[in-house]
Chain A
Amino acid sequence: MATEHDPNLLEIFAAEAQEYTARLKSGIQALENDPGDEDTLNSLLRTVHTLKGSARMLGFETIGATAESIENTLFCIRDGTPDVSDALGSLKRKSDAIFQLVDALTAGAAIDQHHGG
């Protein structure tokens, strides 16, 4: 994993992932109010896609896989699934999971920074 060789990358990714999850949180809230809002959906898709790609490039497989699962649910909503409320519920559960993963990573990065820097 790239971050094993460069602890600075872990710190950069943790900060970046926090920013993406904050955008996810507000986007999902907006989507709950209006599931048909294409701008919000597309913006969420771009955010989660970037988070997935970054996580995988840096070797954070669990975050990458969870982001992919969120992306799949967003595609279902965009493609007009008849079970929008189920999809939104699933989206919220998966998002909660990714928030926890990113928080744990951030805590780990802080420990690395404390001991390494």
Chain B
Amino acid sequence: MRTNHELLIIEDSISVREMIKAHLERIGYVTHATGSPEEAFAILKDRDIDLIISDIIIESTDVTGYHVLKRVKQTDRLAHIPVVMMTERRDAEIARATAEGLGANGFLHKPFSMRELEATIKRLLRPLPAAEGEPR
């Protein structure tokens, strides 16, 4: 039985990915991190992911975080997973509205603090059946 929530981080910047991953692991989450949407779906196939955090613009590919979000929300087995979108775009409100229209559950405008990230995640995570190891 799982005792810690498992989070998937999709972020093409290695430094930002590592910063988020290190912080979330420090506070007790199990994380999977990738810069590739394709690899993200391989992780989603293999693991029981509780929440996804995805960048909108993924530098190395034409596939955006919107594509990932849309596919997650249109896949029966994955649609229940809360998705938090993050972006540095200047038209953040338009990006937020687009993300919400596609079913995003949370939105973070870069640069955001680790405290903001943490609060957003805590708001969206559902308790695990055995919650003893859940980060506080």
Contacts and interface: CB of A to CB of B under 8 A. Distances in A.
Given A46-B59, A49-B59, A9 B19 contact: yes
Interface residues of B, number: 18
Interface in B45-80: 55, 57, 59
B15 A53 contact: no
A74 to B, nearest CB: 13
Interface residues of A, number: 19
Contacts of A12: 14-15, 18
B38 interface: no
A64 B19 CA distance: 17
Contacts of A99: none
Contact of B15 (A49, A52, A54): A54
Interface string B79-95: 00000000111000000
A53 B19 contact: no
B101 interface: no
Interface of B: 12-16, 18-19, 22, 55, 57, 59, 87-89, 110-112, 114
Interface of A: 2, 6, 8-9, 12-13, 16, 46-47, 49-50, 52-54, 56-59, 64
17 contacts: A2-B114, A9-B22, A12-B14, A12-B18, A16-B14, A16-B15, A46-B57, A46-B59, A49-B88, A50-B59, A52-B88, A53-B88, A53-B111, A54-B13, A54-B16, A58-B16, A64-B111
